[in-house]
Amino acid sequence: MLRLSGNLFILFVVLGVSAGAQSTKFGFGCLGLVGGFAGYEVKNYSATGLNQYIAAFNELRKDSLLSAMGEMGQIKGYRLGMNLIRNRISGLEYTVKVFYETLSELKEAQIKGSSGLYKNSFELKQNVFGAGLELGTPLTKIISWKILELEFSYGSAQLFRKTEDINDPVSRVKYTADNYRAGFNFASGFILFIIDNNISLEGKMGYSEFSVGPMTDEEGNKLTTTENSGIVMDAPITKGGLFYGVQFNLSIPL
């Protein structure tokens, strides 16, 4: 990660020097734009380990299930970030940014017990930090094509198992990933400039790669492949998948 941060810093410096050398060719003002953004994303992923656990959970309770717990595989949430610089040189637009994401997915099962109805649920939460680079080109005065967005990310993941019983207090177990492997996103999309270059709306679609290794609860117990198994679940999430999102940008000239 230190080597990656160093490489990104060098890239930022090179882009800044290039910007200073070609100020007369800019379309965003002498030194470009800086600003913030907020958006919403939907990410698909492969959760082989978690879904095997859920399948075993449903099978064990098949005679009392009113509604089975569904498979996990689509996490949704918000992203906030800052465009450190957005500029245009000879028709090529580039953006250097940092961001934070908070994402979650909830699955529930409704079960009929001897004393009434109760629920079990799984909720996956992710908090992700990252940095990225965008390259694009204007198509018209108000629309730009984001040719490539490349981002590197790292974060944390938690899994919450919750049991609600009409006659008993709520039971909640929190698992935290022992290691959240570094990931990346690449995407393409379009930017619609609403008010000059200062306010814009963008949409994008691409591929997000990430994975989550073994998870441990607050008492030191590992998440296992099924409720009654002693085998540790090695990979609750094995890989990422396609994602899409929308984003609102607010920028000011430097």
pLDDT along the chain (254 residues), means of 10: 44 41 43 85 96 94 90 97 88 92 96 80 95 94 94 94 75 89 93 91 96 93 92 93 96 81
2-253: CATH topology is Porin (2.40.160)
| pLDDT given at position 168 | 65
CB 157 within 8 A of CB 183: no
| pLDDT given at position 19 | 38
| pLDDT given at position 6 | 45
Distance, in Å, from the CA atom of 90 to the CA atom of 155, rounded to the nearest integer, reads 36
What are the structural domain ranges in the chain?
2-253
Which pTM value belongs to this model? 0.82
Q: Encoding tokens for residue 190?
A: 């379009």
CB 137 within 8 A of CB 95: no
